[in-house]
Amino acid sequence: MKKKKRLLHDDDEHIDESWLIPYSDLLTLLLALFIVLFAAGTINNGKLQQIMISMNSALSGQGSSMIQKENALATKKIDLKEKETEKLHGLMEQIEDYIEARGLEKVITIKDEPKGIKLSLKDVILFESGKADLKGDSLVILKDLLDLIKQVKNPISIEGHTDNVPITNNEFKSNWELSAARALSVLYFFEDKGIPSNKLQFSGFGEQNPLYPNDTIEHRQINRRVDITILKIK
């Protein structure tokens, strides 16, 4: 008697194995993650961010092409930030050299802060007492500093600060107004020298953010200042 042949269906011949692709991607990424975590003492935040992006793509089923695309974008963003940081550090060194070469250490200071490079200029170098118009001598210094700052395209924040001595002239009603007017004078100068207006911002803090208690002449003089911050790009 002849044996009956089992009928083969297409489903038997062609098993869907498309699930193997994202599964193999996931295994590869998990292996990479374990290796990186094992060497966690040397990993940096940027590389860890790339790994997390890849893991997220794999888990959401987007496939290897999407993983590669997101990794490329993350790497490009990290590279741009590193280049920007290098430029800002180079700019800071040039400004420090300028301040030192002209003996301006007592009236201009520079600091690298989380939000950017901050230049603090004492009011005595920029304005007459109780005034918001830039003095003639200050224009040369501001222009020299601006020529250096123009090397980068970062936004610039300008802040005015005063001491706690109440203002006594008729031009300004309060230290709030004086500090804002002084910051605005510097902003207008920068804009007039070619800095795009959409890269500039200003604010006046009056006596609210002192660097020192207003208990001596020296401390009050330090508190009266204009801060110019070259902001880091987020």
Query: In terms of Cα–Cα distance, which of 186, 196, 95, 94 is closest to 155?
Result: 196
* pLDDT tens digits, one per residue of 150-176: 999 999 999 999 999 999 899 999 999
Question: Would you place residue 234 in the very low, low, confident or very high pLDDT band (cuts 50, 70, 90)?
Answer: confident
Angle at 110 between CA 104 and CA 113, to 5 degrees: 175
* pLDDT (mean) for 211-220: 96
Question: Would you place residue 55 in the very low, low, confident or very high pLDDT band (cuts 50, 70, 90)?
Answer: low
Question: Would you place residue 38 in the very low, low, confident or very high pLDDT band (cuts 50, 70, 90)?
Answer: low
* Mean pLDDT of the chain, nearest integer: 82
* pLDDT tens digits, one per residue of 105-115: 999 999 999 99
Residues 6 or more apart whose Cβ sits within 8 Å of residue 226: 120, 121, 123, 126, 158, 159, 160, 161, 182, 183, 186
| DSSP symbol at 17 | -
Give the per-residue pLDDT at 168.
87
Q: What is the largest CA-CA distance in the chain?
A: 121
Percent of the chain with pLDDT over 70: 66
Range list of H helices, the chain: 10-13, 20-38, 45-59, 63-101, 123-126, 136-149, 175-192, 217-223
State the residue for tokens 């911002």: 201
**β-strand 156-161 against 116-122: which pairing, if any?**
unpaired
* pLDDT (mean) for 192-218: 96
* pLDDT tens digits, one per residue of 129-146: 999 999 998 999 999 999
Per-residue b/e over 106-122, b at no fewer than 16 CB within 10 Å? ebbbbeeeeebbbbbbb
64 pLDDT more than 80: no
| Length of the chain in terms of residues written | 234
CATH class of the 102-231 domain in this structure: alpha beta
Question: What residue segments make up the domains of the chain, in order of their start?
Answer: 10-80, 102-231
Give the per-residue pLDDT at 63.
54
Amino acid identity at 203: S
